[in-house]
Amino acid sequence: MPIYNAPTKDIQFVLHDLLRVSEQDIPGFDELDADFTGAVVTEAGKVATEVLHPLNMIGDTEGCVLENSVVRTPTGFKDAFAQMKEGGWTAMDCDPDYGGQGLPYVMHTAAQEPFVSANMAFNMYQGLTHGAYSAIYAHGSDAQKQTYLPKLTTCEWTGTMNLTEPHCGTDLGLMRTRAVPQDDGSYRISGQKIFISAGEHDMADNIIHLVLAKISGGPEGIKGVSLFIVPKFLVNDDGSLGARNGVSVGKIEEKMGIHGNATCVMNYDDATGYLLGEEHKGMRAMFTMMNEARLGVGLQGYAQAESAYQNAVAYAKDRLQGRAVTGAQNPDGPADPLIVHPDIRRNLMDQKSFVEGARALTYWGAYLIDRAHRNKDAEADGLISLMTPVIKGFLTDKGFEYATAAQQVYGGHGYIEEWGMSQYARDARIAMIYEGANGIQALDLVGRKLAQDGGKHVMAFFEMIKTFIKENEANEALKKDFLDPLKAASKDLQAAGMYFMQNGMKNPNNALSGSYDFMHMMGHVCLGLMWARMAKAAMEALDSGATDKEFYKTKIATGRYYMARQLPATGMHLARINTGAETVMALDAANF
């Protein structure tokens, strides 16, 4: 049975040593002192360890079951969901006007991490609801907000996002679901949607489906797509539940992982829907939530790797195999623990240095979202918009890679479901696909975000790195192990950007053939920046006489590993990018 314990100290380190949240000039951040955030994260960690994690394997084994149009969630999910509601965990960053606690998004993110690590499939019921909340909050009429938000805040009702159809996922312009306007201002929605997470289940009184559809007679393609609220049960004027709406679950999918979450085919058959936001502006409404939603998926990526890592470490300390090449470390035992072996360490350090860097990047992203929303800071908004595909794409690719690496530490036992390591890899796999497959993230980054606002945001990102390096160059310890590698990696990234500018004009395929490499390269530079900053923060803590010296020294050592061993990947990505489209596009489709 796998273990999970929330890495509270690491989370606190990011919030306070790195981001210094309570010192930030952002409304609501003054509340976020170390005692408060520590209490919240500790409590979230307790719920994660005691309530959610024990249900993780149960959810995987039992899965969700569809019987007579009703979806039964795995044993224990219902009770656990009730505890999440009661504990107020679903309402943390929601607006107090609708029953929320009004806390910053970065606090919500820090509290979510343990839930996601402990039970990703379970936490999706709440995560999707939060997405629906955000969409209605941003685009709903006052009446819609009054009707839906209080119930979504508490998760008495849950939410879904309905985008994909059997024949179209990424290219939503091909959508066939139709909305026919009615005299009373509502619409009749008909069509089929697939891959609807939490589309139907037994843990809420009502399910609020947000559905993309085309209003008859509207523009062709993506410009004719609108967003609708389609409740499972219609809501009466007094807020009570009325008639069952024309929406039903067609089947639930058998998936590689996240078995505890019901992934549904949803059939809309003249269902009553209410326009959310403006006609034909459905994509814009979806995009509003995109940074948050994608950051949440990036978090899933590293959070699964964190869980897998904790177990790999425990196994590597416990399992006796072979002897250290430099002499027995456990001479009285029959063999040394796995953790003495350099290649096991290499593997564990890869995982550890990634996960801690990824956490810093994600929380920094959440902080930028707060700064953008609460301070109406356009620069922060531009920066998080640039970072979003990197956070989503890089952290989920690497999250899966390292969940798989953790599985490898177990040898044969890693392949046996009973040990739980396969589940981390299988669950993590979806994060590379949904909320925009990672190839689309790379396209978004290189095709849109780099040039956005005249390239202002990527320039600001490079400037930020340059300034940080300049300001700290006198710090010898930081310079050699952190600033110099960061400078080299950042130079590689800029060279790639330059290649795109010079060669993408004559043939855009020269840029797009390197988009995936660029996303990974930028991910490494981001984590390099995070590690340089964390190392600086740790050095400062040691200088100012922090008592927990081992913790800070470990941070620095872990960062040194990342800079020495992971950052050199940028050179490889640059070399690939610099070969352009020629070899990528050389073959006729028939010759594949």
**Considering beta carbons, is residue 91 or 305 the nearer one to a second copy?**
305
Residues 6+ apart with CB under 8 A from 315: 338, 409, 410, 413
Helices (H), 101-208: 105-118, 120-139, 142-154
Residues 6+ apart with CB under 8 A from 455: none
- Choice from 256, 459, 477, 498 touching a second copy (CB under 8 A): 256
End-to-end CA distance of the chain: 44
**Considering beta carbons, is residue 275 or 348 the nearer one to a second copy?**
348
Reduce the DSSP state of residue 160 to 3 states and report it. strand
What is the 3-class SS of 329-390, one letter each residue?
A: CCCCCCCCEHHHCHHHHHHHHHHHHHHHHHHHHHHHHHHHHHHHHHCCCHHHHHHHHHHHHH
- Choice from 72, 178, 280, 341 touching a second copy (CB under 8 A): 341
Q: What angle do CA 140, 145, 148 make, to 5 degrees?
A: 115
Q: How far apart are CA 268 and CA 160, in angstroms?
A: 14
Contacting range for a second copy; rule: CB under 8 A; set: 127-135, 292-300, 535-543, 563-571:
563-571
- Choice from 16, 139, 201, 560 touching a second copy (CB under 8 A): 560
Q: Does 142 bind a second copy (CB under 8 A)?
A: no
Q: Does 550 bind a second copy (CB under 8 A)?
A: yes
Reduce the DSSP state of residue 254 to 3 states and report it. coil
- Choice from 180, 234, 433, 542 touching a second copy (CB under 8 A): 433
- Choice from 75, 141, 146, 170 touching a second copy (CB under 8 A): 170
Q: Does 146 bind a second copy (CB under 8 A)?
A: no
Q: What angle do CA 96, 391, 10 make, to 5 degrees?
A: 70
**Considering beta carbons, is residue 494 or 507 the nearer one to a second copy?**
507
Taking Cα atoms as reference points, which of 15, 1, 201 lies closest to residue 113?
Answer: 15
DSSP 578: T
Reduce the DSSP state of residue 19 to 3 states and report it. coil
Q: Does 568 bind a second copy (CB under 8 A)?
A: yes
**Considering beta carbons, is residue 122 or 562 the nearer one to a second copy?**
562
Q: Does 449 bind a second copy (CB under 8 A)?
A: no
Least spacing, CB of residue 215 vs a second copy, in Å: 19
Least spacing, CB of residue 255 vs a second copy, in Å: 5
Pairing of strands 187-197, 233-235: unpaired
**Considering beta carbons, is residue 364 or 531 the nearer one to a second copy?**
531
Give the pair of three-digit tokens for residue 490: 């950042």
DSSP state letters, 41-101: HHHHHHHIIIIIGGGHHHHHHH--EEETTEEEPPTTHHHHHHHHHHTTTTSTTS-GGGT--
Least spacing, CB of residue 349 vs a second copy, in Å: 6
Least spacing, CB of residue 302 vs a second copy, in Å: 17
* Residue 86, amino acid: E
Least spacing, CB of residue 516 vs a second copy, in Å: 6
Q: How far apart are CA 411 and CA 431, in angstroms?
A: 25
- Residue tagged 């107090």 (tokens): 96
Q: Does 483 bind a second copy (CB under 8 A)?
A: no
Strand partners, 492: none
Contacting range for a second copy; rule: CB under 8 A; set: 23-31, 268-276, 277-285, 320-328:
320-328
Reduce the DSSP state of residue 140 to 3 states and report it. coil
**Considering beta carbons, is residue 339 or 384 the nearer one to a second copy?**
339
Q: Report 344-403 residues binding a second copy (CB under 8 A).
A: 344-349, 352, 400
Least spacing, CB of residue 322 vs a second copy, in Å: 5
Q: Report 260-319 residues binding a second copy (CB under 8 A).
A: 313, 316-317
- Size, binding site for a second copy by CB under 8 A: 95
Q: Report 75-134 residues binding a second copy (CB under 8 A).
A: none
Least spacing, CB of residue 442 vs a second copy, in Å: 6
Q: Report 491-520 residues binding a second copy (CB under 8 A).
A: 507-509, 512-513, 515-516
Give phi and psi for 69, each to the nearest 5.
65, 10
* Residue 127, amino acid: G
Binding mask 403-422 for a second copy (x = CB under 8 A): -x--xx--xx-xxxxx---x
Contacting range for a second copy; rule: CB under 8 A; set: 97-105, 234-242, 247-255, 362-370:
247-255
Q: Report 11-70 residues binding a second copy (CB under 8 A).
A: none
**Considering beta carbons, is residue 101 or 267 the nearer one to a second copy?**
267
DSSP 28: T
Which residues are the active-site residues? Answer: 435
Q: Does 192 bind a second copy (CB under 8 A)?
A: no
Give phi and psi for 215, each to the nearest 5.
-75, 130
Least spacing, CB of residue 401 vs a second copy, in Å: 9
Q: How far apart are CA 162 and CA 128, in angstroms?
A: 11
**Considering beta carbons, is residue 334 or 454 the nearer one to a second copy?**
334
Q: Does 162 bind a second copy (CB under 8 A)?
A: no
The alpha carbon dihedral of 559, 565, 571, 574 has a sign of negative
**Considering beta carbons, is residue 243 or 325 the nearer one to a second copy?**
325
Least spacing, CB of residue 582 vs a second copy, in Å: 8
